[in-house]
């Protein structure tokens, strides 16, 4: 019996299996380390899950794009949902997206979400913070709205990370405004850096520049749907969707231009040439690109001692190719790659819990999975 059949049986009957490794690579060659783990199916009724976060009391929160936040405890759905979630623009790719706890949550109790906010003239990527009283959102406030507002129902981004100094970074998709991504007078196709209350840091790269939005940290992005902060090396990694081909893994650095739509390894969806340039002077090249597109979404950096062979690796959720890409790095350069859980579903997000276990959520089917290392 082949591995895909075994995996299907596991998911169908809630069993566990051992998955051998697969080698994969685009930019370089080489085989990934052999590793084994068991996978547990914890839940199977998601529609379009997007983000996950853990509270200190052991509850896990999972966002659904339609505008719900489901509450889990001890790896089981409690049957509860948070109340007071803001109204979301749930058309197309829009809706409730990422969720993140403030690093100082134990003291300040702030939780952050990114979502597509319905506004006059269409919708926009918004960042809201709130506190919880029981299961109810309180003290809700939008601390950022991407401007200008646009009618398009796609390419909203959006992920949230905090760095060691508690600055908040988030990604905003380009919403189809290709030429304007290279301009600094709008918030689309950018990664932004703000204080945890929405204020703009004075040391942001374009503060004080005429017509530039001060929150911009980097620009030239298409649709970044995954981002992680590496505390040990004080670096930020992001993945973004290319067009037809040309998905990217980027090392995010202050003030850099990541090229869209001037450079790309992809083409238009109709097969025509988008740009003849894959590299240009002044453009920061991706550390890794995928042709064809894997559809990268949420990602996690493995720091847990439970997965010693994976420490320092990036786990990238792949929608289109229906797997998790385990990306091994050599410093800040790409080394090699391994496919995990091939054909399990459209992987939307990967997360590491406070007790060091890895979890993943998928759509089509809508699963919550837990990866347990094999000793």
- Residue 348 covered by a domain: no
Contacts 24+ apart (CB under 8 A), 316-319: 316/226, 316/239, 316/249, 316/350, 317/226, 317/347, 317/348, 317/349, 317/350, 317/360, 318/294, 318/347, 319/294, 319/295, 319/346, 319/347, 319/348, 319/363
Question: What residue numbers bound the domain in which 204 lies?
Answer: 47-327
Q: How far apart are CA 3 and CA 20, in angstroms?
A: 9
Helix (H, G, I), strand (E, B) or coil at 15: coil
- Residue 363 covered by a domain: no
pLDDT of residue 24: 24
- Residue 357 covered by a domain: no
- Residue 372 covered by a domain: no
Spell out, as residue ranges, where the chain has pLDDT lower than 70.
1-35
Strand pairing category for 136-145 and 160-162: unpaired
Instruction: Supply 335's token pair.
Output: 């080394």
Catalytic residue among 22, 155, 213, 221: 155
- Residue 9 covered by a domain: no
- Residue 32 covered by a domain: no
- Residue 359 covered by a domain: no
Q: How far apart are CA 318 and CA 286, in angstroms?
A: 17
- Residue 114 covered by a domain: yes
Go through 291-300 and write b for each residue having 16 or more CB atoms within 10 A of its CB, e for each that does not.
Answer: eebbbbbbbb
Query: Which ranges of 207-340 does DSSP label H, i.e. alpha helix?
Result: none
Residue ranges of E strands in 253-292: 288-290
241 a catalytic residue: no
115 close to 109: Cβ distance less than 8 angstroms: no
pLDDT of residue 35: 54
pLDDT of residue 84: 98
CATH, residue 295 = 2.120.10.30
Residue pLDDT, tens place only, 92-146: 999 999 999 999 999 999 999 999 999 998 999 999 999 999 999 999 999 999 9
The number of domains in the chain is 1
pLDDT of residue 277: 97
207 close to 195: Cβ distance less than 8 angstroms: no
Strand order in the sheet with 323-330: 23-24, 333-340, 323-330, 314-318, 296-301
pLDDT of residue 374: 86
């Amino acid at each position: 019996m082949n591995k895909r059949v075994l995996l299907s049986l596991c998911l169908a009957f809630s069993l566990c299996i051992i998955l051998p490794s697969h080698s994969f690579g685009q930019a370089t060659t080489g085989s990934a380390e052999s590793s084994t783990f068991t996978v547990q199916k914890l839940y199977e009724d998601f529609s379009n899950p997007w983000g996950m976060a853990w509270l200190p009391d052991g509850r896990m929160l999972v966002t659904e794009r339609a505008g719900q936040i489901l509450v889990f405890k001890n790896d089981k759905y409690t049957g509860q949902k948070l109340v007071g979630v803001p109204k979301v623009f749930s058309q197309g790719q829009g809706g409730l997206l990422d969720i993140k706890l403030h690093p100082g949550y134990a003291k300040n109790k702030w939780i952050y979400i990114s979502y597509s906010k319905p506004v006059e003239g269409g919708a926009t990527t918004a960042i809201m913070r709130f506190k919880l009283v029981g299961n109810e959102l309180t003290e809700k406030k939008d601390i950022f709205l991407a401007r200008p507002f646009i009618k398009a129902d796609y390419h909203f981004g959006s992920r949230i990370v905090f760095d060691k100094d508690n600055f908040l970074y988030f990604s905003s998709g380009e919403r189809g405004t290709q030429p304007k991504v290279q301009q600094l007078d709008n918030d689309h196709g950018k990664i932004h850096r703000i204080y945890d209350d929405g204020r703009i840091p004075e040391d942001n790269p374009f503060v004080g520049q005429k017509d530039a939005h001060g929150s911009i940290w980097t620009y030239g992005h298409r649709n970044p749907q995954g981002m992680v902060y590496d505390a040990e090396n004080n670096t930020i990694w992001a993945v973004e969707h290319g067009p037809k081909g040309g998905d990217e893994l980027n090392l995010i650095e202050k003030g850099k231009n990541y090229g869209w739509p001037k450079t790309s390894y992809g083409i238009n969806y109709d097969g025509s040439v988008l740009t003849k340039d894959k590299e240009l002077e002044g453009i920061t090249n991706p550390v890794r690109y995928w042709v064809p597109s894997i559809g990268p979404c949420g990602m996690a950096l493995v720091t847990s001692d439970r997965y010693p062979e994976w420490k320092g690796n990036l786990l990238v959720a792949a929608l289109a190719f229906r797997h998790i890409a385990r990306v091994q790095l050599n410093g800040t350069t790409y080394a090699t790659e391994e496919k995990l859980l091939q054909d399990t579903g459209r992987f939307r997000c990967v997360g590491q819990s406070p007790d060091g276990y890895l979890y993943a959520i998928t759509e089509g089917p809508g699963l919550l999975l837990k990866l347990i290392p094999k000793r």
